[in-house]
């Protein structure tokens, strides 16, 4: 206890106290969650404290723009108890967030407040919330395989350290369970899990499964459920990226899991509409789709520090539409994507990976020629079976007409067994490759 007090006193002695007058603003209007404040010219991204009443605690707002000399803010919560002419003051460092090893093993929200009933993490370092934009050559190539613990992905769409991989599927097909397995089986120094816009129950379940024992000591959870303010959801995703960049700058290999990128785009869309931005692609303003690109580009390898951020992002295809603007934008910037099929899920295959529609753009530079050839043959067998499935089911196909299809039909049980994996099972990279080569050898 004495050591903690001495540490706090030392921090207070080092703190710089400004003798300048504190500038205050006043709430002018509140329209649809957008607050106008006069007399407080602070930069975009700054946090402010708004005094409400004696019965309610002060609320926090984020500056999202300015108009006619007024600052435009959005609350990081609800507008309940907000009153006209309320006093507003700036807090913290504009555009900066607290980062550090004190976050390891903790569960926090988008503003850094703990949600695990613990004390607020005391971080001595800060990092730009929007990240540090590096030149293109700072991102080194993906040259080392990444073990995610899923047999089908390790062998057929091999990931690399520093890769940005998307998991694309409709609702209820198994995205969250798949990333839960990958977060448990992946090899990384630091694991950062951002649950943005998801159900609060999923947050509780994740904490119960992963924030226990030794695994929790290298895991950070940032959770902002769906019922929170849109700017807090967006801030949670940016905060997770900022923490990942901080550890990468210190030479760590980080796994960043963001579930889901679509919910982040929804939050950015709400903010864009409040600021008067017109809808473009199916109602998404340009700023919402640009937000996706900025978040994904923050992952990758660092040529300077040697650290890496391997990004794993889920993308919800609204209505199972693979041409949804969010899906299309994300797929174009990813280094690979995994597509989950509702038809396969209804047939009982888990994970329901549509291997013919999934790919890794960095796989060829990570695996051996034998591995590459086996993966190509496996894909051919699955693709020929899927293309001729209806013909076979109608009885219109005559055996011997197509040798490759004959092989696919005879090997169908083995192919399905290879793609399936029980929830909780972890299959390493080497074991996955060996199993793939064995299946292909038996198919000849």
Domain boundary among 40, 71, 94: 94
Gap between the Cα atoms of 338 and 356, Å rounded:
10
215-251 pLDDT, tens digit per residue, is: 788 899 999 988 888 888 999 999 999 999 999 999 9
Secondary structure (DSSP) of 163-193? -EEEEEE-TTSSHHHHHHHHHHH---SEEEE
Query: What CATH number is associated with residue 408?
Result: 1.20.1270.330
Same-domain status, 222 and 282: yes
177-209 pLDDT, tens digit per residue, is: 888 888 888 888 999 999 998 877 777 777 777
Gap between the Cα atoms of 349 and 443, Å rounded:
21
Collapse the DSSP code of 256 into the 3-class scheme (helix H, G, I; strand E, B; otherwise coil) and give the result: strand
Same-domain status, 140 and 237: yes
* Token couple for 365: 């530079």
Report the pLDDT value the prediction gives residue 173, as an integer from 0 to 100.
85
Report the pLDDT value the prediction gives residue 65, as an integer from 0 to 100.
87
Q: Which range marks the domain in which residue 399 is found?
A: 370-442
- What are 190's strand-pairing partners? 254
Same-domain status, 377 and 358: no
Report the pLDDT value the prediction gives residue 344, as an integer from 0 to 100.
87
Where helices occur in 211-279 by DSSP H, the ranges are 230-249, 261-274
Gap between the Cα atoms of 283 and 155, Å rounded:
38
Q: 120: which residues sit within 8 A by CB, 6+ positions away?
A: 112, 113, 114
Gap between the Cα atoms of 443 and 377, Å rounded:
10
Domain boundary among 310, 341, 363: 363
Same-domain status, 90 and 102: no
Same-domain status, 204 and 317: yes
The residue written with tokens 């106290």 in the block is 17
pTM for the model: 0.88
For residue 3, is the peptide bond before it cis, meaning its omega torsion is within 30 degrees of 0? Answer: no
Contact, 282 vs 327, CB < 8 A?
A: no
Query: What CATH number is associated with residue 248?
Result: 3.40.50.12240
The tens place of each residue's pLDDT in the chain, 444 residues long, gives 677 677 677 766 665 555 556 688 999 988 877 899 998 888 888 888 988 766 667 788 889 888 888 999 988 877 777 888 889 998 878 888 989 999 998 889 888 888 888 888 888 889 998 888 777 788 888 989 999 989 999 999 999 999 999 999 888 888 888 888 888 888 889 999 999 988 777 777 777 777 777 778 889 999 998 888 888 899 999 999 999 999 999 999 999 999 889 999 999 998 888 888 887 767 788 888 889 999 999 999 998 889 999 999 999 887 777 778 888 888 989 999 999 988 888 888 888 899 999 999 999 989 999 999 999 999 998 888 887 777 777 776 667 677 777 887 888 889 989 999 988 788 989 999 999 999 888 765
Query: What CATH number is associated with residue 75?
Result: 2.40.10.170
Same-domain status, 411 and 436: yes
């Amino acid at each position: 206890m004495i050591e903690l007090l001495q540490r706090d006193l030392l921090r207070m002695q080092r703190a710089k106290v400004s003798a300048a007058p504190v500038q205050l603003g006043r709430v002018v209007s509140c329209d649809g969650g957008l607050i106008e404040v006069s007399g407080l010219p602070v930069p975009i991204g700054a946090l402010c404290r708004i005094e409400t009443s004696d019965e309610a605690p002060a609320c926090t707002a984020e500056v999202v723009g300015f108009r006619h000399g007024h600052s435009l803010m959005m609350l990081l919560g609800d507008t309940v108890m907000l009153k006209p002419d309320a006093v507003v003051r700036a807090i913290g460092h504009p555009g900066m967030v607290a980062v550090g090893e004190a976050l390891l093993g903790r569960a926090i929200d988008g503003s850094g407040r703990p949600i695990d009933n613990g004390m607020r993490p005391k971080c001595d370092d800060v990092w730009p919330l929007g990240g540090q934009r590096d030149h293109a050559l700072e991102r080194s190539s993906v040259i080392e395989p990444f073990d995610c613990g899923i047999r089908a992905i390790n062998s057929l769409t091999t990931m690399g350290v520093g890769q940005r991989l998307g998991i694309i599927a409709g609702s209820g097909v198994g995205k969250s369970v798949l990333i839960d397995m990958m977060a448990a089986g992946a090899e990384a120094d630091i694991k950062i899990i951002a649950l943005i816009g998801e159900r609060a129950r999923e947050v509780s379940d994740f904490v119960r499964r992963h924030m226990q024992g030794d695994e929790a000591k290298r895991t950070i959870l940032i959770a902002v459920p769906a019922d929170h303010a849109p700017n807090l959801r967006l801030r949670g995703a940016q905060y997770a990226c900022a923490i990942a960049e901080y550890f990468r700058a210190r030479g760590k290999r980080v796994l960043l899991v963001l579930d889901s990128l679509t919910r982040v785009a929804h939050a950015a869309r709400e903010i864009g509409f409040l600021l008067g931005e017109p809808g473009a692609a199916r109602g998404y303003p340009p700023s919402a789709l640009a937000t996706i690109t900025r978040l994904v580009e923050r992952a990758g390898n660092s040529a300077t520090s040697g650290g890496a951020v391997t990004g794993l992002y889920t993308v919800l295809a609204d209505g199972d539409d693979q041409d949804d603007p969010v899906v299309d934008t994300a797929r174009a910037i990813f280094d690979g994507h995994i597509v989950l099929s509702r038809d396969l899920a209804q047939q009982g295959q888990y994970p329901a990976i549509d291997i013919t529609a999934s790919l890794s753009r960095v796989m060829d530079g990570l695996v051996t020629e034998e591995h590459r050839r086996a993966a190509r043959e496996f894909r051919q067998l699955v693709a020929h079976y899927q293309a001729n499935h209806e013909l076979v089911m109608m009885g219109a196909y005559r055996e011997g007409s197509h040798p490759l299809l004959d092989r696919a039909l005879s090997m169908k049980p083995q192919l399905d067994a290879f793609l399936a994996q029980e929830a909780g099972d972890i299959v390493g990279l080497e074991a996955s490759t060996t199993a793939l080569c064995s299946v292909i050898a038996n198919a000849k």
